[in-house]
Amino acid sequence: MSQQFDVVVIGGGPGGYVAAIRAAQLGFNTACVDAFKNPEGKPSLGGTCLNVGCIPSKALLQSSENYHAVQHDFAAHGISVSGAKMDVGTMLKRKEGIIGKNAGGIAFLFKKNKVANVHGLGVLKGRTGERWVIEVTDNGSVVDTLEATHVILATGSTPRPLPGVAIDNNLVLDNAGALALTATPKRLGVIGSGVIGLEMGSVWKRLGAEVTILEAMPTFLAAADQQIAKEAFKTLTRDTGLDIQLGVKIGEIKTGKKSVTVAYEINGEKKSAEFDKLIVSIGRLPNTAGLGAEAVGLQIDERGFVVVDDNCHTNLPNMWAVGDVVRGPMLAHKASEEGVAVAERIAGQKPHIDFNAIPWVIYTSPEIAWVGKTEEQLKKDGIEYKKGTSGFAANGRALGLGMAAGTVKVLADAKTDRILGVHIIGPFASELIAEAVVAMEFAASSEDIARIVHAHPSLSEVLHEACLAADKRALHG
Ligand code: FAD
Ligand code: NAI
């Protein structure tokens, strides 16, 4: 006998679990089916983000930053520490503890909101009358059959493989392997200088690895504002000590017993490098394999994404899709907002997501964050703009923190002064960007921020100053 629901969500990551909670809050009888198992083989809600993505990477970034600070930054405060040691095992245990706490938190929220928590792989089987049929399997056996009026697909993404290179998570690692190394490798290679490459490269560099990042594109962080990207390149290579090689063509990758050799070409020159571990982080692919898309006629595009309209509705009646499995940036907050919006649409509401105001953050040191258009995009679109920049170098709070590297750049419409983009490299850019997002959502002008009182001393004064600079009346520049 099938269990019947108003809404079944397939996938329990930030897109799916949030959609399920919101649907339940709106009065729908809701189930969430998720297949993720932790290394102990136990179900663990939260998807990629919580288990092998956003949260564990930030935990390791913090641990490695602390270790780095003890060694390099404390002396300036008059604190001398000798014999500081890094116990990678304790660091990993702390990370696992954070994951466990948050995953348990989602299970608790499911109980609180009466969301049925179903563990297993959800497969679309077809229709019975007006309802969709979803079969749930676990370890190859059918464990449940669910029927739903509405289905929300939130199956996320998996690492994009490099042809001919097998991920064994021993020598050649994907994101899960990169987050679970039990010792610091002496020589770490990374293919791809995107977000994962830079974050994971920073972690292991601070813990003592020599890190070489091999990037195919000739441009560093091509999606970011290039003024900020250039500053980031300089800081990450000079201060963090990452060896980032751009414009690389990867050749044969040979896995030995204890090391991996990567042949590559750069500026027409053939080279080869041997690494103790190699991370492959060259993007992610939507996760639709085994979902039953073909069986029900679900439209998938040529890159494997579930095709949706602006409302996250698929080509099938009452079937929706959110998060990494659909177009748009692969970010947890984007997935969650789509999940909420779909639940509300099912309830007949008319939510709206402003895709132009989705913040990006790269948690390197210093952090990089942006929202809205880059200077390159504005030029390409022929939009006249003015810009204001201000550095952290003279900011009292940044100096007190010992984190005075970085810049805030504000781009505003030349005529209306409406803020079109804000780009930050600097301390706590991940937090500072929130003010810019709010400003853009409220269609603020740079003058609006320039006229708002910002606490002193605070990092937010640098955004304030950049807005003053956009109007050519910087006080400290
Ligand atoms: P996912 O989180 O991938 O969740 C999908 C879930 O569905 C998984 O549990 C999967 O097992 C399950 N599933 C798949 N198919 C089925 C099926 N047929 N039946 C049942 N269950 C199924 N984003 C940020 O915004 N900030 C960050 O700091 C950040 N850091 C990251 C760091 C790393 C190392 C990685 C890899 C990613 C990071 N991301 C970050 C991206 C972020 O993790 C994703 O954008 C986000 O997890 C997408 O959410 P989702 O719900 O769409 O999918
Ligand atoms: P990415 O898309 O950020 O970067 C991949 C990089 O690999 C690109 O620079 C690309 O040019 C390069 N590349 C592709 N093929 C290559 C090849 N054959 N040889 C060498 N380089 C090659 O993807 P990444 O880092 O794997 O992360 C996946 C996604 O996860 C990100 O796009 C982001 O959406 C999400 N994420 C977000 C984080 C955050 O918000 N802080 C942190 C980590 C991941």
Q: What is the pLDDT of residues 414-453, one digit of tens each?
A: 999 999 999 999 999 999 999 999 999 999 999 999 999 9
Active site residues: 456
d(CA 93, CA 455): 38
Nearest to 444 by CA among 341, 367, 355, 372: 372
Q: How far apart are CA 19 and CA 477, in angstroms?
A: 46
pLDDT tens digits for range 184-200? 999 999 999 999 999 99
d(C-alpha 300, C-alpha 225), whole Å: 31
Q: Which pLDDT belongs to residue 132? A: 98
Which of 21, 49, 281 is the pocket-test mutation for ligand 1 (most atoms within 8 Å of CB)? 49
- List own/partner pairs for 92-97 with CB under 8 A and 24 or more apart: 92/180, 92/182, 94/59, 94/63, 95/56, 95/59, 95/60, 95/63, 95/179
Nearest CA-CA partner of 444 in 464, 473, 474, 472? 464
Distance of alpha carbon 232 from alpha carbon 109, whole angstroms: 39
User: Read out DSSP for 346-397?
Assistant: HTT------GGG--EEE-SSSEEEEEE--HHHHHHTT--EEEEEEESTT-HH
Q: Measured from the CA of 15, which atom of ligand 1 is nearest?
A: 51
Closest CA to 195 of 226, 166, 229, 218: 229
Q: How far is CA 383 from CA 155, 376, 386, 408, in A?
A: 38, 10, 10, 21
Structure tokens at 237: 């290579």
pTM exceeds 0.95: yes
Predicted confidence at residue 2, as pLDDT, reads 87
Q: Give the per-residue pLDDT at 342.
A: 98
Residues in contact with ligand 1 by the CB-under-6-Å rule are 10-16, 33-36, 47-49, 53-54, 57, 121-122, 154-157, 175, 196, 287, 291, 323-325, 330-333, 335
- Percent above pLDDT 70 for the chain: 100
- Give the pLDDT band (50/70/90) at residue 374: very high
- pLDDT one-digit tens code per residue, 321-340: 999 999 999 999 999 999 99
Q: In 10 A of CB 237, how many CB atoms?
A: 14
Q: Is 261 helix (H, G, I), strand (E, B) or coil?
A: strand
Residue nearest to atom 41 of ligand 1 (CA): 331
Element (H, E) at 343: helix 332-346
**What six digits make up the tokens of 417?**
């002064």
pLDDT tens, position by position, 335-357:
999 999 999 999 999 999 999 99
Ligand 2 within 6 A of CB of 250? yes
- Distance of CA 466 from the midpoint of ligand 2 (Å): 30
Q: Which residue among 55, 179, 196 has the greatest number of ligand 2 atoms within 8 angstroms of its CB, and so is best to mutate?
A: 196
Nearest CA to ligand 1 atom 53: 156
Between the CA of residue 179 and those of 93, 94, 173, 332, 347, what are the distances in Å? 12, 12, 9, 18, 39
Ligand 1 closest atom vs CA 324: 52
Structure tokens at 380: 């390409």
The pLDDT confidence band at residue 477, using thresholds 50, 70 and 90, is: confident
For a mutational test of ligand 2's pocket, the pick from 54, 55, 202, 282, i.e. the residue with the most ligand atoms closer than 8 A to its C-beta, is 282
